[in-house]
Structure 1
Amino acid sequence: MSAASNKQLVIDAWQVFATRDADQVRGVFALDAEWLAPADNATSRAIDGTHHLVGRDRIVRFLAEEFSTVFVDNVSIEFGGFYADGDTVIVEMRLQATLAHGGHYDNEYCFIFELESGLIKRVREYMDTRRGEAWFRAPATADRQGRSEATVTRH
C-alpha cells in the first residue's frame, strides 16, 4: 500500500477505536499485533499494570472495554497531524477526558503505527508520563499544567 493509503488506514482506525465496538476494532489489527507504551505509565497501572499489550484480543479488550473505565466521560481527541512513510504512520494528538475519580486529564501523545498487509501490526505510544501521573492523582492535587501542587515551587 502507498504511504497515502496507509495514512488513511490509520485515520480510519481512529474512527473505529472511537466506536468501542470490539468486532470493528478487531478488524483493524493483525492477529499478532502489539501495543507498547512507556513502562509503569498511569493508564497501564489503572487497568492491569500491563504497558505491553500482546495480541489482537488483548488490544481489543483495552480499546473496547478498559479504556472507558479509566477515561469515563468527556473524552476529546484533538489530532495535531498524521505523517506517513511507507508502512509507518505517525500520529500526534491530545487527549482530554474525565477520569474515574472525577478529575480532568489532559496530555499529548505521539503514536507510531507499523502496518502490514493493510492491518495494524504494532503501535508504539509515547506521552509525558510525569504529566499523565499528575492527572491520575486526586482531582484537587493537580493544577491545569498537570503538576502536583506539592511540586510547584514559587521563587
Structure 2
Amino acid sequence: MSAVSNKQRVIDAWQVFATRDADRVRDVFAPDAEWLAPADNATSRAIDGTHHLIGRDRIVRFLTEEFSTVFVDNVSIESGGFYADGDTVVVEMRLQATLAHGGHYDNEYCFIFELESGLIKRIREYMDTQRGAAWFRSPATADRLGRPEATATYR
C-alpha cells in the first residue's frame, strides 16, 4: 500500500476508535497486533499495569472498555499531524479529558503505527510520563502543585 493510503487508513482508524464499537475497532487491527507504551505509565497503572498490549482482542478491550474507565468525560483529541513513509505512519496528538477522580488530564503524544496488508500491526506510543502521572494524582494534589504545566516546560 502507498504511504498516502496508509496515512488515510490511520486517520480513519482514529475515527473508528472514537466509536468504541468493538467490531469496527477489531477490523482495523491484525490478529497479532501489538500496542507498546512506556513501562509503568499512569494509564496502564490505572487499568491493570500492562503497558504492552498483545493481540487484537486485548487492544480492542482497551479501546472499547477500559479507556472510558480512566478518561471518563470531556475527552478531546486534537491531531497535531499525520506523517507517512511506506507502511509507517507517525501521529502527533493531544489528549485532554476528565479523569475518574474528577481531575483534568492534558498530555501530548506521538504514535508510530506500523501497517501490514492495510491493517495495524504495531503501535508504539510515546508521551511525557512524568506529566501524565502528575495529572493522575488527586485533584487537590495537582492544585497544590500548581498544576503540572507550572512545574514542567511543555510545548
TM-score class, shorter: over 0.9
Unaligned runs of 5+ in 1: none
The equivalent of 1:139 in structure 2 is 139
Equivalences for 1:106-145 in 2 at 5 Å? 106-143=106-143, 145=147
Q: Give the 3-state SS of the residue equivalent to 2:38 in structure 1.
A: coil
* Alpha-carbon spacing, 1:133–1:11, altered in 2? closer, same or farther (3 Å): same
> Given residue 14 of structure 1, which amino acid in structure 2 is its aligned partner?
W
Equivalences for 1:4-153 in 2 at 5 Å? 4-143=4-143, 145-146=147-148
Q: Give the 3-state SS of the residue equivalent to 1:110 in structure 2.
A: strand
Aligned-CA RMSD value? 1.5
1:25 and 1:146 map into 2 onto residues whose CA distance is 32
> Given residue 19 of structure 2, which amino acid in structure 1 is its aligned partner?
T
Q: Give the 3-state SS of the residue equivalent to 1:142 in structure 2.
A: helix
2:123 and 2:105 map into 1 onto residues whose CA distance is 22
Normalized against structure 1, the TM-score is what? 0.93
Q: Is the Cα contact below 8 Å between 1:106 and 1:146 reproduced in 2?
A: no
> Given residue 32 of structure 1, which amino acid in structure 2 is its aligned partner?
D
1:48 and 1:73 map into 2 onto residues whose CA distance is 20
2:89 and 2:79 map into 1 onto residues whose CA distance is 13
2:57 and 2:64 map into 1 onto residues whose CA distance is 10
Q: Give the 3-state SS of the residue equivalent to 1:40 in structure 2.
A: coil
Normalized against structure 2, the TM-score is what? 0.93
> Given residue 43 of structure 2, which amino acid in structure 1 is its aligned partner?
T
Instruction: Show CA shifts across 1:88-123 (max 9, x none).
Output: 000000000000000000000000000000000000
Q: Report how many aligned residue pairs link the two structures.
A: 150
1:123 and 1:82 map into 2 onto residues whose CA distance is 14
Q: Percent identity over the alignment?
A: 87
Q: Give the 3-state SS of the residue equivalent to 1:7 in structure 2.
A: helix
Per-residue deviation, 1:145: 4.8
Unaligned runs of 5+ in 2: none
1:140 and 1:108 map into 2 onto residues whose CA distance is 23
2:83 and 2:76 map into 1 onto residues whose CA distance is 21
